[in-house]
Amino acid sequence: MKRIETIHLFPKLTEELLELLQGLEASDWLKPSPINGRTVKDLVSHLIDGSLRNLSFQRDNFTDDTNVPNINSYKDLVDFIQKLNKEWMIVSRRLSPPILIDLLQYADKQFYEFLKNKNPNDKAIFSVAWAGEAESQNWFDIAREYTEKWHHQMQIRLALNKPILLNTEYTEPLYDTFMIALPHLFREFSDFENNTKIKISLTGKLNKSWVIEWKTDKWIFADSINSKIYTSIELPDDIAWIIFTNTDREKDKYTTNIKINGDKSVGLKLLELVTVMS
C-alpha cells in the first residue's frame, strides 16, 4: 500500500478554518450543520476535541478510565466514540466563539507538531477500523485524521453556504485515503475469477480512478489494467465525500448521481462506503 502524505496539509486546513471563523457573526455560530442536532459551534468544538483528546492520549499518555464500557464490537466502539463527542460538545456550548477560536489555534498547532514527529511507518495506536484494518501504520492513522479535519470543516462550510475546498491539493489525498477501504467494502462480492476488476472513478476537479481486482480470496489494488473491467463506477467528487462521511445519510437519493457500467449491485455498493466512525 502506497503511503499517502497529509502532514503538510494540517496547518493549511487550520488556517482556512480560522479565516472563515474570524469573519462570522454571532448568529452564524448557531446555524444548523448537515449533522442532525449539531450547530456550526458544535462542529468547531468537535474539531478542538479531536486534537486535544489525541494529544492527551498519545503524546501525554493520559487516559480517563472512569465510565469506560466494555468494547466487544464495532458498534460498541462507535457508540462510545459518539458518547464522548456529545459530552464535549454539550460542555463547550458555554464557551464563547473567541475562546473556541483561540483553543482551535492552540490545539491544532500542538497536534500538528506532535504528528509531524511520528515515524510514519510505525504501528499506530489506533487502527483505521472503517477500512477493515486491525492494525494500521501511523501514516494511515494520520491520513484518517486529515480526512476528519477536512470533512468537518466542509460540513461547517455547507452550513454557512461557503465554498467547499475541492482543489486537488486537498481532495486527492482525501480520496486516496477513503479508497483504501474499497477491498473491505466489496468483500462480500467473492464469486469471481482471478483478475476480475472493479474500477471506481471520481469526476470533477479531481478526475481520478482506482481499480481493485480479485485475487484468490480477496480484493486488492491492481497495479495495471490488463484485462476487462467487470464493473466501472463513476461519482462526482463534490458529492462523493458527502456520501462517504455520512454528511447525508439518505444515500438512496444519490443513485441518480452514480454512473454504473456493468453489475448494478456492485456499483451501488459504493454508496455504502463509510469512512467515519458513525
Rounded Cα–Cα distance for residues 195 and 62 (Å): 47
Mark whether 151 and 183 lie in a shared domain.
no
What pLDDT band is residue 74 in, cutting at 50, 70 and 90? confident
Mark whether 122 and 153 lie in a shared domain.
yes
Mark whether 124 and 254 lie in a shared domain.
no
From 164, 198, 216, the end of a domain falls on 164
Q: Inform me whether the pLDDT recorded for 80 exceeds 90.
A: no
**CA distances in angstroms from 130 to 76, 155, 193, 266, listed in the order given:** 14, 20, 26, 19
Q: In this predicted structure, what is the pLDDT of residue 68?
A: 73
What pLDDT band is residue 65 in, cutting at 50, 70 and 90? confident
**CA distances in angstroms from 73 to 9, 79, 87, 272, 276, listed in the order given:** 33, 10, 21, 19, 16
Q: How many domains does one find in the chain?
A: 2
Mark whether 17 and 148 lie in a shared domain.
yes
Mark whether 39 and 129 lie in a shared domain.
yes
- Do 245 and 149 form a contact (C-beta atoms < 8 A)? no
Let me know if residue 86 belongs to a domain. Answer: yes
Let me know if residue 251 belongs to a domain. Answer: yes
Mark whether 159 and 183 lie in a shared domain.
no
Mark whether 85 and 221 lie in a shared domain.
no
- Do 238 and 222 form a contact (C-beta atoms < 8 A)? no
Q: Inform me whether the pLDDT recorded for 67 exceeds 80.
A: no
The residue among 231, 237, 228, 240 whose CA lies nearest residue 267 is: 231
CATH number of the domain bearing residue 224 = 3.30.1050.10
What pLDDT band is residue 192 in, cutting at 50, 70 and 90? very high
Give per-residue pLDDT as tens, 218-253. Answer: 999 998 776 789 999 999 999 999 999 999 999 999
Rounded Cα–Cα distance for residues 109 and 126 (Å): 21
Q: Inform me whether the pLDDT recorded for 1 exceeds 90.
A: no
From 164, 198, 215, the end of a domain falls on 164
Mark whether 66 and 157 lie in a shared domain.
yes
Share of the chain above pLDDT 90, in %: 86
Q: What is the mean pLDDT of residues 267-275?
A: 97
Q: Inform me whether the pLDDT recorded for 66 exceeds 80.
A: no
- Do 217 and 190 form a contact (C-beta atoms < 8 A)? yes
* Residue 36 grid cell: 442532525
Q: Inform me whether the pLDDT recorded for 154 exceeds 90.
A: yes
Range(s) of the domain holding residue 225: 179-272
Burial string for 39-63 (b: 16+ CB within 10 Å, else e) reads bbbbbbbbbbbbbbbbbeebeeeee
Q: In this predicted structure, what is the pLDDT of residue 114?
A: 98
Beta-bridge partner residues of 208: 202
Q: In this predicted structure, what is the pLDDT of residue 153?
A: 98
Higher pLDDT, 67 or 180: 180
What pLDDT band is residue 76 in, cutting at 50, 70 and 90? confident
